[in-house]
Structure 1
């Protein structure tokens, strides 16, 4: 006779084992832990996609008027924030992330930091390894408050890697200035 707790534990262990997304095969090992299962890579098995691009050393914020870029000085920016206005006078923040992209792809750019998480829609505008993703967000959107804090922010794009955006007052300055120039709120 088995105890109910033992049966539940065994069922949970089997369920978790069935959920494994391993690319390997479990086989019995030989050696000190003889009989203990070990993972081996399967020859010819589909390997994971290549590793996402890494952030280069020395990346920093660079301000130029209503545009703020994050990247290595002298190289193409990795992320750009620009304050724009639509025909009604509403202020918008254009996000441009330069990293690999597939033609016609859509994604959510995740910004994580300062006690907040923002997921902002972006579209692939140019494909390839040096692809370009763009999104427009109303400057008054509270999701952008993730940029207002004093801490660093992670910017992650699926397949495009993660940027560690260094702590700076520049994103806050750009966002507050852009919001202050929003003419659509004055009419409300």
Structure 2
């Protein structure tokens, strides 16, 4: 498997690729349904995330075939990321300045490449050149019967609480890890 990892900071040339992979995996492979998982809803979130300073995606290609992607954006001073925690975190923990915390919004790998370590490669490639202090993500604790959360724990993330960022979204586990200095 000869995988090429490509960085993009402009969503428009890759928007449809990202949407197509997301829909294939979330809806068709995993059978997730409801308004939160529609293409239009995801595209709206993608537009919001990618419009913020510092947004970046890494897309993996096996030849010409896109195999997966991840994208992230720094949390700015006006972020609402922490607003939907079910139990509030200390104020000093949630102060953002655009340089403190990177939000890993999505990481998705297509079925033929799952179990190959590609998700970890994409993740590490995306984080490698980042300068934020820490990285946070949300995971559905039911995904893979808890196996997805366990993967993130192996990657150095720790649960910091739970949140429901949208009325039609699941209640996610919020996780955090330092951006650097984590063993693989």
In the superposition, the TM-score normalised over structure 1's length comes to 0.21
Higher helix share: 2
In the superposition, the TM-score normalised over structure 2's length comes to 0.21
Comparing both chains, which one has the higher relative contact order based on Cα–Cα distances under 8 Å and sequence gaps of 6 or more?
2
Larger radius of gyration: 1
Higher strand share: 1
